[in-house]
Chain A
């Protein structure tokens, strides 16, 4: 399947989705006004991926900021991966947060409460 490689902007994140290399990452800022428009192709890609997922998927979220509309879409993404878990594949969410940013850690913990996927929290400091 085709890869997704989107470069981030002031208000949209960088996205890398590469099944063959096993790279799954959303990073940077996500505060677009129209989240549906930005995330549509990403959600479509994940639907396609879910049809024949890798045995193990490690999905990295390394977000600096996201608005509440994006937070809803992130949940939609996680729910799609929850289904992949239910179908017997392994998925791990790597949730990166800056050491000064407890809010970002808490956001990850809230998602982990909602979806049945293991979360690894990765702290960074630069």
Chain B
């Protein structure tokens, strides 16, 4: 028992060090709901407003966080079918030149090809192309039962002006883990 406790303490300290070294301001793993979204975005908003960050960057970080979190709360799948919770991992890190918002969630393998296709299309477009795609999609889309408009990723790409970085890690024959990094330049 003593040894196990020591192990946890060491783990907590290593985690703390890793977070400090990588300037990670926020880490969360768990269910992502509207309440969680509101709490995190307002925490981030408060800490940003105390910083010297420009208004433009603050608003972009806020906006991108909302879209990332609402994407999880609407689209995340779970490891097994009985589990209805929409869980994910959320990290916000502040680097020298940029903020990174990293999210990860489980997704059914059958949904991967389509999501990949959307991400590739979005990353192939410049600012004007994204605006055209957005206008086309917003006209055609309807609000889904889950309340999504299918516009989140396009919006993130538009607002950040950076390519979306992503990865799919296959966990088993049914599901994969989807990691998305959105980068907001600080100047």
Mutual binders A and B: yes
* Chain A residues engaging chain B, CB cutoff 8 angstroms: 10-11, 31-36, 65, 67-69, 71-73, 75, 98, 100-103, 106, 110, 113-114
Residue numbers of B with Cβ under 8 A of A are 34, 37-38, 42, 54-56, 59-60, 62-63, 66-67, 70, 73, 131, 134-135, 138-139, 141-143, 147-149, 151-152, 154-155, 158-159
Contact pick for B63, options A32, A35, A102, A103, CB 8 Å = A103
Interface pair B56/A102, CB less than 8 Å apart:
yes
Find A67's partner among B42, B70, B139 (CB 8 Å cutoff).
Answer: B70
Select which of B34, B55, B149 is within 8 A of A72 by beta carbon.
B149
CB-CB under 8 A from B59, the residues of chain A are 65, 100-101, 103
A126 to B135 alpha-carbon distance, docked (Å) = 30
Contacts A67-B67, A68-B155, A71-B149 known; A114 to B135 CB distance under 8 Å? yes
The answer to whether B55 and A100 have CB atoms under 8 Å apart is: yes
A114 contact from B63, B139, B142, Cβ within 8 A: B139
Measured between alpha carbons, how far is A47 from B185 in the docked complex, in Å? 42
Report the minimum CB–CB distance from B146 to chain A (whole Å).
Answer: 9
Given contact pairs A11-B34, A100-B55, A100-B56, A68 touches B149 in the complex (Cβ within 8 A): yes
Q: Assuming the A-B contacts A36-B147, A100-B55, are A110 and B135 also in contact, with contact meaning beta carbons closer than 8 angstroms in the complex?
A: yes
Provide the main secondary structure of the chain B interface.
Answer: helix
| A98 contact from B55, B70, B131, B143, Cβ within 8 A | B55
Known interface pairs A75-B138, A100-B56; 5 further A-B residue pairs with C-beta atoms within 8 A, sorted by A's residue number: A36-B147, A72-B138, A72-B149, A100-B55, A103-B60
A-B complex: 5 closest residue pairs judged by Cβ atoms: A68-B151, A100-B55, A33-B34, A72-B149, A69-B149
Q: Report the nearest B residue to A70, measured CB to CB.
A: B149
Cβ–Cβ contact A65 & B63, under 8 A:
yes
A106 cross-chain contacts in B, Cβ below 8 A: 131
> Do A11 and B70 touch (CB < 8 A)?
no
B149's nearest neighbour on chain A, judged by CB, is A72
Q: Is the CB of B143 within 8 A of A11?
A: no
Please give me the residue from chain A that is nearest to B148 by CB atom.
A69
Cα-based distance from A101 to B135 in the complex (angstroms): 20
CB atoms of A67 and B135 under 8 A apart: no
